[in-house]
Structure 1
Amino acid sequence: MSPSRIRFALCCFAVSMTLSPLCAAHDVIPPDWCVQDQHEPKIVARFDMDGKELKGFLAKCGIVEKDKWRGATKGAIEYCKLAAPKDNAVPFVLGPDSYLSDHHHTVYELDDGINGACAVCVPRTQRGSKAATSGR
């Protein structure tokens, strides 16, 4: 998937988050995240862990949850904190389907793994000025 398509998907996801009571109830991403004028999401890291990698990461972080979906979610949040500690990055989980399912608390298993991206909300002018100074 191209970077512009991912940015577009993140923007759409951020807007849909404000309208989704399910997402707000789970508190994965604040409902008002990155909806300010002249701001846009920027991907700062990606994650793609199979079941073994995910279980190892959760163990290293001391994350133990009966609800496997909540455990994986806490793992994604922690991964993004480690990937961009000063930027307050938030996770956008893109798969697997069992994680995204309406019945995720009952069908998702850690063996399914997890993949997605960590994003931060930056002013549009900030991205332009960095590109200008780097010669891109």
Structure 2
Amino acid sequence: MNQKTNQKITRWVLGHKVTPLDASGDYDIMIGETPAKVQGPPPHLHHSYHESFYLLEGEMEFLVAGELVQAKAGDFVNLPPNTLHSFNNTTEKACKWINIHSPKGFSAFFETLGVPENESDAQEKSVSPEIIQQVIATAADYDMFIATK
């Protein structure tokens, strides 16, 4: 096993726990956990990134190009570039998932805007008004374009 994998910092990002993994290919891969009843990011799209989720445990609701999709353990959700999407956990149980962005680069969003899990109240801090405003102000820097009404 690559020693660097164990040195990655798990962070809370917008209420979700995310742990980056080392990947030798041109993609970022994270293991995530969404606690029960946690809302996802605002609907957004990426111009350059292909994004995918593989559900390991539990269920999540995805908004994919205007359609609600219920995904459960074993399901794969594919989000090509320019696909408006979001996700959340509407259930009473935590959901675990793998998230992939290709090409490599989106992990900088998690590293920059996430709160290290060892900080006190890290999950609450990750959804503070200050973090939300920082996400809104810098999202485009990470090829994340938030839908406006």
TM-score of the alignment, normalized to the shorter chain, above 0.5:
no
Larger radius of gyration: 1
TM-score by length of 1: 0.29
Higher helix share: 1
TM-score by length of 2: 0.27
Higher strand share: 2
